[in-house]
Structure 1
Amino acid sequence: MKVAITNRQKRHPIGTRRLRKVAETILGALGYPDSELSVVITGDLGIRRVNRDYLGKDRPTNVISFAMGEGDFGDLNPDVLGDVIISADTAAREAEEAGIAFWSRLCFLLLHGTLHITGYDHERSGEAEARRMEAKEREIFALLENGGLV
């Protein structure tokens, strides 16, 4: 598997090697051990631009995912899963509000975004699918915690 990590912000220190290991563990747990994933860590300004330009929402958010397996050419290279873009600024605020570590929140957002790329949805598919996604989040996050990655 290939996980590309790009850190485009400097405000919040990110251990990219450690984050790559988290991503690889998530992909393995989801049954995608040979797939490719791109992870971009940015600030609120960067994610706001993406949110505005691609989703029509002119505000920052915590995580945005783009699945490469969707659309007319989604089957060209099924091993390329897509992109997960995370705002470190929003993750830090959410961590502080929840009283948890920044790293824990960052890893959860990576997990959440990766689940979206692999077909999980909590927004458009109803309560049963939202519960299924939340259960998978709990399962894999526990795996990350037990493995000392979070």
Structure 2
Amino acid sequence: MIYLESKENIESALLKAMENVLKEELGKDVNVNLITVDKNTIAQLNKQYRDIQSPTDVLTFVYGEEDVYAEVYICTDVIKENSVTYNNSFKKELLTVLIHAALHISGYDHEYDTSKEKEMFQKQSEYLKKFESLL
């Protein structure tokens, strides 16, 4: 179950797509808090946890606990900027970020352990195609 902690409206269909990816990858339902934050907050979190001094679109923290399996912080301002940079609609960029976060929650990494990086981005593309009808 995705618990949205946000003042912003994120379409339930996109959240459902994220839940579907999690269930398919993990083989079970998990509780994930999805929190939207501003650029300043995401930049602070990025500095604190990754030692990178700039805003990012998404940060994922996996705890593996039953009550809160993971937390995902997203910054819609950065996602909007990225949609322009990558010539995507905002909705497609947001879906990409949600799928990307779900894959991180499922154990895929491209930063600290690159052994599954290629597989992660291939799965991300496959899931985007699977859910393109939402766009």
TM-score range, shorter chain: 0.7 to 0.9
1:46 corresponds to = 41
Between Structure 1 and Structure 2, whose CA radius of gyration is higher? 1
CA shift digits 1:25-51 (9 cap, x unpaired): 222232344211111122211211211
Aligned partner of 1:5: which letter? L
**Counterpart contact for 1:25–1:144, Cα < 8 Å:** no
Identity %: 26
SS in 2 for 1:23: helix
Work out the CA distance in 1 between the residues paired with 2:94 and 2:80: 8
Structure with bigger helix share is 2
Work out the CA distance in 2 between the residues paired with 1:15 and 1:63: 15
Work out the CA distance in 2 between the residues paired with 1:136 and 1:78: 25
**Counterpart contact for 2:22–2:106, Cα < 8 Å:** no
1:91 aligns with 2:86: no
CA RMSD of aligned residues (A): 2.0
Instruction: Detail structure 1 runs of 4+ shifted over 2 Å in the superposition.
Output: 13-20, 52-58, 77-81
**Counterpart contact for 1:3–1:36, Cα < 8 Å:** yes
Structure 1 residue runs of 5 or longer lacking an equivalent are 70-76
2:15 corresponds to = 20
Structure 2 residue runs of 5 or longer lacking an equivalent are none
Give the TM-score normalised by structure 1: 0.78
> How big is the shift at 1:57?
2.5
Give the TM-score normalised by structure 2: 0.86
